Amino acid sequence: MCIGVPMQVISVEGVAAKALERGELRLIDMSLVGAVEPGTWVLTFLGAAREIISADSAEKITAALEGLRAIMAGGDAGNAFADLDNAAPQLPPHLEAAVSQGKTTA
């Protein structure tokens, strides 16, 4: 399994960028998202930016990852998943459309 890690771009040099992850400077591949401005948040997988994300999304993902780290260390997730606590489950759009049309089987 591969986990996406949010990083904030500090500088861009061609198809590479320097970005911060938990306060550490990393070099990431920007080939899949193209050129971005410093300050932009990207979701990275194995050192490659795969998606441009909002600061809000970066904050939520970072909180969830910190919660998982705490649980793995024997601690408590705290409010790492607060955005999900009161959220109702949602179907992907294609399944929601099928249910709206009355379909109950594949």
pLDDT tens digit sequence for 4-50: 999 999 999 999 999 999 899 999 999 999 989 999 999 999 999 99
Question: Helix (H, G, I), strand (E, B), or coil: what is residue 41?
Answer: strand
Q: Average pLDDT, whole number, for the chain?
A: 91
pLDDT (mean) for 75-103: 85
Check if the beta carbon of residue 28 is closer than 8 Å to that of residue 47: yes
For the four alpha carbons of 36, 42, 47 and 48, in that order, the dihedral sign comes to negative
Rounded distance, CA 8 to CA 6, Å? 7
Domains of the chain: 1-106 (2.30.30.140)
Would you say residue 73 has pLDDT above 80?
yes
Which of 68, 91, 95 shows the shortest CA–CA distance to 80? 68
Would you say residue 106 has pLDDT above 70?
no
Strand 41-45 vs strand 24-29: parallel, antiparallel, or unpaired?
unpaired
Question: Helix (H, G, I), strand (E, B), or coil: what is residue 74?
Answer: coil
